[in-house]
Amino acid sequence: MNFFGPFRSGGAIPAGIPEQAAAAGLIASCIVFEIVAMVAILLWLWNGDPRLVDFWFRQVGGPLLVGYAVIEWAAAARVLQWFQPGEPMRRPWLLLTAAGATHMTSLLFRHWLGQPLASNPLLLWPEGRDWIPLCAEFGRRLGGTLYLALLAAGLGFALRVHGRLKLLSPPGRKGWAVLVTAAALYAYTLISLVYWLQHPRPNRNALWWMGWLTDPLLAALLVLALLLVRSTEPLSGGLLARPWRAYQMALLLTCAGSFFAGLADSGVVSSSWLWPGWLAWHPASALFALAPVWQLEACRVSVRAFGEAQAR
Amino acid sequence: MSGWKQWAVDCVAALFGHPSDTALLKYLVGAAGRRARSVERHLACCPRCRRKLESFRLTLAQVERIWAEPETQMPGTLMIDWRQIEGRLAAPPADPPFELQKRLLGNAASDPRYADSRFEVLRVLLGGRALLMNAPAHGEKPLI
């Protein structure tokens, strides 16, 4: 695979993946996964046997997440080819493509190389098993920091373009309420950081600092998601609104999943009550992949319509 | 279609239970005259004709918008050349640029606040490369 190929511009636009088929496949696979996951969780809650849940989320769910991330990156890279250097939307899609590549890498490490799966090549190597926890941690940190930062930067630049096109109206009463809540959460995170800095801990290393970045980045992404809602309102019902709506829904699900993960880490709530959080990650990943696929579809619709008009 | 032929068609349609397309169109624009009451009675109990009327309503709204002629702007008072209207209804999509704009831009396509910036929104969000192929030639109207 030519990794840098999709980043080049100016060449012929390749015959694209069938966007509608890709979108239908993403949605169908996600629905099937969620239904079976729900059944497995209900069985676990009923008889207390976690084997089916473990098998489904680890052996099937992990590779499925990697597959979604591959589609996300490939589709975003193809979208990038529709924008020439200097065009306003090139920078956002460049950052979103880089975010897709980072997401793919992080999930590869976290859910494939970092798991004792039958398909993990590290298991073929006698000392490879020792690398598995390291791979999982690397994937977790990459997905929790660099991916979120690139995503926030890409969506931030896209929002700026929407603002310049006068599509972004000022928030209403509800919008302000949610923005103030997000700001309060952000302030709480800063205050808690200052509190922890005053109490020396032995394990405050680079990984701890990187892990701390995740919450502020998620708060920033939550604010971006709310602003995206407003910027796509004038375009609602059209094909150009769908990619940004998908990003917005994916961000909300990611924030919800992270909230449940935070609850799990804190130990406040019993793990048997945290299963709704497990169901958030696959729809979020599928929506992250659907966003560039839908943008590609919009581009191709315009070109196809032009071809039909020429033929008439 | 001349008056007596139309009347005959309407009679046959009435025998089979459903009003003709022309009768529905006349009812829609308020030009059905004495037949309006019978069409109304029929519509009250026939979902098929109600659906057909709704599709006519949408198509007629489109026709009115695209061909902004004085006589088609005010339903109820319009003078209709039925052959002309039927010809328009049978014609291919009336305004491909608008339909495509609507498909891509959604509500903004018909919102007057964005009237001046529609092409700019498409050019920026869709990419110049997609719209390059859409450049108008010899002063023609661009597709979007």
Confidence category of residue B7, pLDDT binned at 50, 70, 90 = low
Chain A residues with beta carbon closer than 8 angstroms to that of B131? 302
- Chain B residue nearest residue A83, CA to CA: B127
What letter does residue B119 receive in the DSSP assignment? H
Closest CA to A219 of A271, A254, A177: A254
Question: CB of A75 within 8 A of CB of A97?
Answer: no
A163-170 contacts, C-beta under 8 A, 24 or more apart: A163/A231, A164/A88, A165/B117, A165/B120, A165/B121, A165/B124, A165/B125, A166/B114, A166/B117, A167/A231, A167/A232, A167/A234, A167/A235, A167/B108, A167/B121, A168/A227, A168/A230, A168/A231, A169/A230, A169/A233, A169/A234
Q: B23 by DSSP, 3-state: which? A: helix
Chain A residues with beta carbon closer than 8 angstroms to that of B125? 89, 161, 165, 240
- Chain A residue nearest residue B112, CA to CA: A234
Put simply, the answer to whether A309 touches B96 (Cβ < 8 Å) is: yes
DSSP run (H or E) holding B141 = none
Q: B101 by DSSP, 3-state: which? A: helix
Instruction: Write out the two tokens for A272.
Output: 């048997």
Instruction: Write out the two tokens for B63.
Output: 């026709």
Put simply, the answer to whether B107 touches A302 (Cβ < 8 Å) is: no
Largest separation between any pair of C-alpha atoms in chain B: 58
The C-alpha atoms of residue A116 and residue A58 are separated, in whole angstroms, by 9
Enter the pTM of the model.
0.71
Q: Quickly tell me which residue has 């699900």 as its tokens.
A: A253
The C-alpha atoms of residue B141 and residue B137 are separated, in whole angstroms, by 8
Confidence category of residue B67, pLDDT binned at 50, 70, 90 = low
Comparing CB atoms, the residue among B107, B121, B134 nearest residue A306 is B134
Tally C-beta pairs within 8 A across A and B: 95
Q: What is the pLDDT of residue B75?
A: 46
φ, ψ of residue B111 in degrees (nearest 5): -90, 120
- Residues A244-275 as b or e (16 or more Cβ within 10 Å = b): bbbbbbbbbbbbbbbebbebbeeeeeeeeeeb
Residues sharing a CB contact under 8 Å with residue A96, sequence separation 6 or more, in sequence order: A76, A79, A150, A151, A154, A155, A158, A292
Between the CA atoms of B96, B100, B102 and B105, what dihedral angle is there, to the nearest 10 degrees? -150
CA distances from A153 to A70, A91, A98, B81 (A): 20, 10, 11, 59
The C-alpha atoms of residue A101 and residue A42 are separated, in whole angstroms, by 35
Name residues 44-103 of chain B within 8 A of A (Cβ).
Answer: 92, 96, 100, 102-103
Question: CB of B29 within 8 A of CB of B76?
Answer: yes
Nearest chain B CA: its distance from A234 CA (Å) = 5
Put simply, the answer to whether A235 touches B106 (Cβ < 8 Å) is: yes
The C-alpha atoms of residue A201 and residue B88 are separated, in whole angstroms, by 79
Residues of chain A with pLDDT under 70: 1-17, 200-210, 266-267, 305-312
Nearest chain B CA: its distance from A298 CA (Å) = 7
Q: What is the pLDDT of residue B2?
A: 60
The 3-state secondary structure of A208-263, one letter per residue: HHHHHHHHHHHHHHHHHHHHHHHHHCCCCCCCCCHHHHHHHHHHHHHHHHHHHHHH
pLDDT in tens, B71-105: 544 444 344 445 455 555 555 445 667 778 888 88
